[in-house]
Amino acid sequence: MARTKRAQILMEPAEYRQLEVLAAREGVSVAELVREAVRERYLDAPPRKIEAAARITAMALPVVAWEDIDQEIEDAHDAGVR
């Protein structure tokens, strides 16, 4: 089993209550909510965002003129209205 470290933080009661509500809504503990936020904000965020951006830019997506898309949207809307 991996060794873990303990971190203790002090929070305003109102902030902690908000975290309790969010944690209950997501079905996790407040501790897990805080760990997840720390991972996303300080540990995992930059590499994951860079990787996601690289995947998006590597996609071979069609490039269509706005006028064509606009007309296609209008045609689809007109067909649905009838």
The residue ranges of every structural domain in the chain are: 13-81
Q: In angstroms, rounded to a whole number, what is the distance separating the alpha carbons of residues 2 and 70?
A: 55
pLDDT at 82 over 60: no
Q: In angstroms, rounded to a whole number, what is the distance separating the alpha carbons of residues 52 and 68?
A: 28
Summarize the confidence of residues 5-21 as an average pLDDT: 96
Beta carbons of 2 and 16 less than 8 angstroms apart: no
Tokens representing residue 23 in the block: 């944690």
- pLDDT tens digits for range 28-71: 999 999 999 998 888 866 667 788 888 988 998 888 899 889 99
Q: How confident is the model at residue 81 (pLDDT cuts 50, 70, 90)?
A: low
Q: What is the dihedral of CA 46, 50, 55, 58, to 10 degrees?
A: 180
The pLDDT of residue 45 is 60
Q: Give the three-state DSSP class for 8.
A: coil
